[in-house]
Amino acid sequence: MTAPDGLDGVRFGSVHGFDAILVSTPRATAAISVFGGQVLSFMPAGMVDDVLWVSPLVAPPPTPIRGGTPVCWPYFAREGQTDEVPSHGYARTARWSVVAGRTTESGDTELELTPEGLNHLHLNLRMTVRVGTTLEQGLHTHNPGAETVTMTEAFHNYFQVSDVARVRVEGLDGSTYLDKFDGLRSQIQHGDWVLQNDDPRSDRVYPRAGGHYRLVDPGLQRTIEVSVRGGQTAVVWNPGEEVASGMADVGSHWRGFLCVEAANAGPDVVEVPAGCDHSLWQTVSVTAFE
């Protein structure tokens, strides 16, 4: 595989031990793993800490990469699937190829990628990754068949934080959430999301959540904003110390990340009619505290 012809700042190399597409622009750098197609690094110019977290205990393929932004498709978690199929779908362990690239009028680098080896599915997938002042991703599903297909999906963002117990997520106040650590019991979010002292873990699915969230991190002196189009669901996840201790690729490192995910999941199932398309977009931006 070679970089798109004539596209400056794009080359193939490695990051965290994975073959990757490396992108460098005047405004930011990024790295996209060939395995799983997930963005493993995003660094706006002038920032000293990566926006994304990748576990120092990450395992080699075919184990899914713990960190970055895994692509969950064509279903999120299990979503009614049997144990014979992989959790979070097939895209996150496929090999991805760059099929097109360009420099936008604003000087951003935009790549189009597709996963390989998924011809057995009834849907086609491609992804847009645009690197500049912000990181923009689009997940585009096409139904080439004659019948409507239902699906779920997510950009499973692992954001690097100073300490998950000292950050907050704005934009969810008043939303209903389903708590997977409490038998999917429906509850109401009161105020910003913060890690609870009496039960320091989170696996909350927020249907119809609004599409705009802010992860405020006083320790790293920055705010990460996630703006979503075409996605109804927010997911906020950190396994906490007890669950993480049983995860070979997290362990004692659980405090270093928080997942704030752009999704269509739980009750927010997507129906893609025959011959039609559906897109999930997210824009990630970072602002330093003044």
pLDDT, tens only, 211-224: 999 999 999 999 99
Which pLDDT belongs to residue 5? 57
Which pLDDT belongs to residue 82? 83
Residue 1 has pLDDT above 50, yes or no: no
Structure tokens of 263? 């999704």
Round the average pLDDT of the chain to a whole number and report it: 95
Which pLDDT belongs to residue 6? 63
Residue 145 has pLDDT above 90, yes or no: yes
Average pLDDT on 110-137 reads 97
Q: What is the pLDDT of residues 232-261, one digit of tens each?
A: 999 999 999 999 999 999 999 999 999 999
User: What confidence category does residue 33 fall into, taking pLDDT thresholds of 50, 70 and 90?
Assistant: very high
Which pLDDT belongs to residue 4? 62
| Of 82-96, 242-256, 260-274, the least confident | 82-96
Average pLDDT on 110-136 reads 97
Per the document, the length of the chain is 290
Structure tokens of 91? 């895209």
Residue 146 and residue 15: Cα distance in Å, rounded?
41
Question: Out of 3.40.50.300, 2.70.98.10, 1.10.287.110, 3.40.630.30, which CATH number does the structure's domain 10-288 have?
Answer: 2.70.98.10
pTM of the shown model: 0.96
- Mapping DSSP onto H, E and C, the string for 199-244 reads CCCEEEEECCCCCEEEEEECCCCEEEEEEEECCCEEEEEECHHHHH
- Mapping DSSP onto H, E and C, the string for the chain reads CCCCCCCCCEEEEEECCEEEEEEECCCEEEEEECECCCEEEEEECCCCCCCECECCCCCCCCCCCCECECEEECCCCCCCCCCCCCCCECHHHCEEEEEEEEECCCCCEEEEEEECCCCCCCCEEEEEEEECCCEEEEEEEECCCCCCEEECEEECCEEECCCHHHCEEECCCCCEEEEHHHCCEEEECCCCECCCCCCCCEEEEECCCCCEEEEEECCCCEEEEEEEECCCEEEEEECHHHHHCCCCCCHHHHHHEEEEEEEECCCCCEEECCCCEEEEEEEEEEEECC
Tokens 């990754």 sit on residue: 129
Which pLDDT belongs to residue 78? 84
User: What confidence category does residue 67 fall into, taking pLDDT thresholds of 50, 70 and 90?
Assistant: very high
Find, among 211, 216, 227, 236, the residue nearest to 284 by Cα. Answer: 227
Residue 256 and residue 58: Cα distance in Å, rounded?
14
φ, ψ at 91 (rounded to 5°): -65, -35
Query: Where in the chain are the domains?
Result: 10-288
Structure tokens of 171? 């934009």
Residue 39 has pLDDT above 60, yes or no: yes
Find, among 187, 159, 176, the residue nearest to 261 by Cα. Answer: 159
Residue 62 has pLDDT above 50, yes or no: yes
Average pLDDT on 174-195 reads 96
Average pLDDT on 114-125 reads 95
Average pLDDT on 132-137 reads 98
